[in-house]
Amino acid sequence: MPEREVVPLAGDDIDLATLYNALKRAFREAGLATPDLDARLLVTETLDVTTAQLVANPRLPIPLDQARELNERALQRLAGRSIGRILGRRAFWSLDLRISPATLEPRPETETVVELALALLQPVDVRALVADLGVGTGAILLAILSERLNAFGVGIDISEEALREAVRNADRNNLADRTVFVAGNFGAPLGRMFDLVVSNPPYIASNVIGDLDPTVRDHDPRLALDGGPDGLDAYRVVFAQARSVLKPEGTLIVEIDPAAQADVVAVGESRGLTILTLAHDLNGDARALAFRASDV
């Protein structure tokens, strides 16, 4: 069966502008949320051109093998894979992170956890030990360490594949000398030594995972999404472990589903934690909660 052509793969006019415009048109017709941005990212990354070249050199000839690769990636995007999944990496904070089928794809909302952590880790030259429970790609932990040069981090994940990606990401972002990655169930392997603990735990209720956007539902690992029947199972574990991993005045920050704010606070309070502050993401939604032990 001949391959479906999203961009032209025959003729003498396979040039940069023709491919780019065909991709934008196809993505717009498909109703993608950001068709022009998606097209630009796929074109620049696949064809190894700059954004400036799209304007300055639109008639640049493109070899057929590159056009075929672009067409294949376009088909993947139209089938519901995100740009990050297609390219195998994702920008987060100031970092370039590799992602894999074993890791959650970091999203802009999660940067709220980083912002709150940095606001609490003051002054900027503070010496601190940070743990990330369910570290995944390493996104949150590595972003914090990139801004706090005297901090050291430990990343925990139950998935050894995810840990391998985190190790690679620490290395590619020049943070390997300040990180250690350990297999375990959230804070179980740790002792009471941390100034800050962060976590973006799985918090989607099991019965609504099927309703998620296909880019999430079909490509993020279920292990990183499924929070149990009410979406709170992971919080119960993390909050129960908090006192055994935090220093007496240490802080725990977790990402939340905005709709579950009250429930997460209630679970934290039932485990002897007190809400310290709440942070909102760029959409104005409640996204990160900071806790401390009630008796501190």
Distance CA 254, CA 234 (A): 11
Give the pLDDT confidence score for residue 199 in this predicted structure. 97
Q: Is residue 7 part of a domain?
A: no
The answer to whether 138 and 97 are in contact (CB under 8 A) is yes
Beta-bridged to residue 246, according to DSSP, are 194
Instruction: Output phi, psi for 29, to 5 deg.
Output: -65, -30
Is residue 180 domain-shared with residue 67, that is, in the same domain?
A: no
- C-beta separation of 91 from 45 below 8 A: no
User: Are 199 and 289 in a shared domain?
Assistant: yes
207 exposed, middle or buried (CB, 10 Å; 0-12, 13-18, 19+)?
exposed
Between CA 260 and CA 274 the distance in angstroms is 17
Cα separation of 197 and 176, whole Å? Answer: 19
Q: Which residue has the tokens 């400036």?
A: 52
Distance CA 144, CA 125 (A): 12
Residue 187: which region, alpha, beta or left (left: phi > 0; alpha: psi -120 to 50)?
Answer: alpha
* Residue 209 forms part of a structural domain: yes
**Given CA atoms 43, 75, 38, 144 in this order, what sign does their dihedral have?**
negative
The CATH code of the domain that includes 215 is 3.40.50.150
Q: Which of 255, 159, 117, 193 is nearest to 167 (CA)?
A: 159
| Domain limits for position 236 | 92-293
- Angle (CA) 99-186-122 rounded to 5° is 85
**Range list of β-strands (E), the chain:** 89-92, 95-98, 128-133, 151-157, 179-183, 194-199, 246-255, 273-280, 286-293
Separation CA 70–CA 46 (nearest Å) = 6
End-of-domain residue from the set 46, 79, 112? 79
Q: List the beta bridge partners of residue 157.
A: 183
Q: Within 10 A of 160 (CB to CB), how many other CB atoms are there?
A: 10
My answer on whether 140 and 283 are in the same domain is yes
Helix (H) or strand (E) holding 76: helix 64-78
When divided into structural domains, the chain yields a total of: 2
Q: Is residue 3 situated within a structural domain?
A: no
Instruction: For residue range 240-287, list pLDDT tens digits in order.
Output: 999 899 999 999 999 999 999 999 999 999 999 999 999 999 999 999
54 falls within a domain: yes
How many C-beta atoms lie closer than 10 Å to residue 67's C-beta? 22
Show the tokens assigned to 197.
């603990």
Give a yes or no: residue 67 inside a domain.
yes
| pLDDT confidence of residue 3 | 61
Same domain as 22, residue 132: no
Q: Say whether both 188 and 237 belong to one domain.
A: yes
Q: For residue 171, is it within any domain? A: yes
Tokens of 90: 């994702």
- Flag whether 64 is in a domain: yes
Per-residue pLDDT of the chain (296 residues; tens, 9 = 90+): 346 888 888 766 689 999 999 999 999 999 998 999 999 999 999 999 999 999 899 999 999 999 999 999 999 999 989 999 999 999 999 999 999 999 999 999 999 999 999 999 999 999 999 999 999 999 999 999 999 999 999 999 999 999 999 999 999 999 999 999 999 999 888 888 999 999 999 999 999 999 988 888 888 899 999 999 999 999 999 999 998 999 999 999 999 999 999 999 999 999 999 999 999 999 999 999 999 986 64
pTM as predicted: 0.90
Residue 293 has what pLDDT? Answer: 83
Q: What is the pLDDT of residue 2?
A: 44
Are 56 and 98 members of one domain?
Answer: no
Tell me whether residue 8 is in a domain: no
Closest by CA position to 42, among listed 11, 10, 65, 72: 72
End residue of a domain, out of 54, 79, 104: 79
Say whether both 109 and 45 belong to one domain.
no
Q: To 10 degrees, what angle do helices 35-47 and 16-29 make?
A: 140
